[in-house]
Amino acid sequence: MPDLPSDEIAFVDLASQRARLEPALSDAIQNVLCHARFIMGPEVEQLEEELAAWSGAAAAVSCASGTDALLLALMALDLGAGEAVVVPSFTFAATAEVVALLGAVPVFADCAPATFNIDGSTVDDALATARGLGLRARAVVAVDLFGHPAGYTELEAVADAASARLIADAAQSFGGSRDGRQVGSLAPVTTTSFFPAKPLGCYGDGGAVLCTDPEIARRIASIRVHGQGEHKYDHVRVGTNARMDTLQAAVLLHKLRIFGDELVVRRALASRYDYHLRGRVETPTVDEGVVSTWAQYTVLIDERDRVASELAGAGVPTAVYYPVPLHMQPAYRAYPSAPRMNVAEALAGRVLSLPIHPYLTEAQQDHVIEALLATLRV
Ligand SMILES: *Cc1c(COP(=O)(O)O)cnc(C)c1O
């Protein structure tokens, strides 16, 4: 095993980022404490404007988490019992959870082997499953796994043909783009998360819904605050409380200033991994025209668990996203899935995500690469 670098390698390094943002970040937090408009304070509106500008969406509605963003997007469709929503199986639980929470049926789709995202053919299979069960498919939720935007042009055609709406779960891909269009303008409704470990994270939970139609954004903003109508005690629909705290908006406004620069570093790290690892392990595939956020750099590897534990021994933290596909989870296995789910099932046993964050030094990355290659020589 190569020698450990003197400084510890973090999987996500929020401390270095914070040091870079100080003292302005603490001043911004202090400012919120002073003005005391903790709910829907001025920073929230400013953040929404900046998120819309960043993404090319017509409007952004901030909210309390990525999960709430998905919930709001589905509530805006009046999704109800007996209706279906196609979701990928190889994703974080939140994508399917919100569907079940609303009394509707998540129908699991497999994913494409190259990008791990759903594509037209996997969605078609899941739509056929829904039809076979007499379920009306109201929506298709695509996930931009690991930061790689899905093929929305193709997905929109497939969803349209089934009279279903297309929603992008961009919890990992805010800041990415496809064919020159930013995430947030690739699908009619895009949800994202500002969980601390996401590429753009706050200091707690946070999220947003980005809409290309300002009318849908207004509807979602109303659902976010108890279905509010003309005034505070006018409730025109059933809503919820899913507001983002002003403190989180203040943090995000500062993180946005360096976000573009951080994404450049993530891309450079991904290219270095590609260069040194290609041919030795299966490295990530990036579709033509895609700019990924590199939320994760995930390789496919045999004997993944042995490799991960040897890497841990060499001071290299790794993660497995995701060890069990959703259609095999206790909470979801009773829900329908497409007839063949073999890609998701095979990926779960072979994926390994390596450290990739904007504060990873080249020396640290070299150590990760050497340590990984060393495990392959055993
Ligand atoms: C993180 C994540 C979510 C949930 O976001 P939270 O802010 O943690 O609620 C949803 N979908 C995907 C794909 C995610 O990675």
Q: According to the model, what pLDDT value does residue 3 have?
A: 53
pTM of the model: 0.97
Q: Which amino acid is at 294?
A: W
Over residues 300-339, the pLDDT tens digits come to 999 999 999 999 999 999 999 999 999 999 999 999 999 9
- Distance (angstroms) between ligand 1 centre and the Cα of 377 equals 36
- Distance (angstroms) between ligand 1 centre and the Cα of 192 equals 7
Q: Is the CB of 17 under 6 A from ligand 1?
A: no
Please, what sign has the CA dihedral across residues 250, 251, 252, 257?
A: positive
Is 2's pLDDT higher than 70?
no
Q: What is the mean pLDDT of residues 325-354?
A: 98
Q: Is the CB of 95 under 6 A from ligand 1?
A: yes
| Mutation to probe ligand 1, out of 85, 95, 167 (largest number of atoms < 8 A from CB) | 95
Q: Is the CB of 195 under 6 A from ligand 1?
A: yes
- Distance (angstroms) between ligand 1 centre and the Cα of 169 equals 8
Q: According to the model, what pLDDT value does residue 57 have?
A: 98
User: What CA–CA distance (Å, rounded) separates 178 from 191?
Assistant: 16
Q: According to the model, what pLDDT value does residue 233 have?
A: 92
| Mutation to probe ligand 1, out of 70, 195, 200, 322 (largest number of atoms < 8 A from CB) | 195
Cβ atoms < 10 Å from Cβ of 89 = 32
Is 1's pLDDT higher than 80?
no
When pLDDT is cut at 50, 70 and 90, the band that residue 7 belongs to is confident
Q: What is the mean pLDDT of residues 138-148?
A: 98
What secondary structure, in 3-state letters, does 125-175 show? HHHHHHHHCCCEEEEEEEECHHHCCCCHHHHHHHHHHCCCEEEEECCCCCC
- Distance (angstroms) between ligand 1 centre and the Cα of 171 equals 5
If 0-12 CB within 10 Å is exposed, 13-18 middle and 19+ buried, where does residue 58 land? Answer: middle
- Distance (angstroms) between ligand 1 centre and the Cα of 347 equals 19
Is 6's pLDDT higher than 80?
no
**122-141: string of b/e by CB count within 10 Å (b at 16+)?**
bbbbbbebbeeeebebbbbb
Is 183's pLDDT higher than 80?
yes
Ligand 1: which residue has its CA nearest to atom 14? Answer: 171
Q: According to the model, what pLDDT value does residue 61 have?
A: 98
Residues 6+ apart with CB under 8 A from 307: 301, 352, 372, 375, 376
Over residues 215-232, the pLDDT tens digits come to 999 999 999 999 999 998
Q: Which amino acid is at 265?
A: V
- Distance (angstroms) between ligand 1 centre and the Cα of 4 equals 33
Please give the share of the chain, as a percent, with pLDDT higher than 90: 96
Ligand 1 atom closest to 91 (CA): 13
Please give the share of the chain, as a percent, with pLDDT higher than 70: 98
Over residues 14-31, the pLDDT tens digits come to 999 999 999 999 999 999
Q: What is the mean pLDDT of residues 251-266?
A: 98
Phi-psi region of 79 (alpha: psi -120 to 50; beta: other; left: phi over 0): beta
- Distance (angstroms) between ligand 1 centre and the Cα of 43 equals 23
When pLDDT is cut at 50, 70 and 90, the band that residue 286 belongs to is very high
Mean pLDDT rounded to a whole number for the chain: 96
Q: Which amino acid is at 169?
A: D
Rg of the chain's alpha carbons, rounded to an integer?
21
Over residues 42-96, the pLDDT tens digits come to 999 999 999 999 999 999 999 999 999 999 999 999 998 889 999 999 999 999 9
Is 261's pLDDT higher than 90?
yes
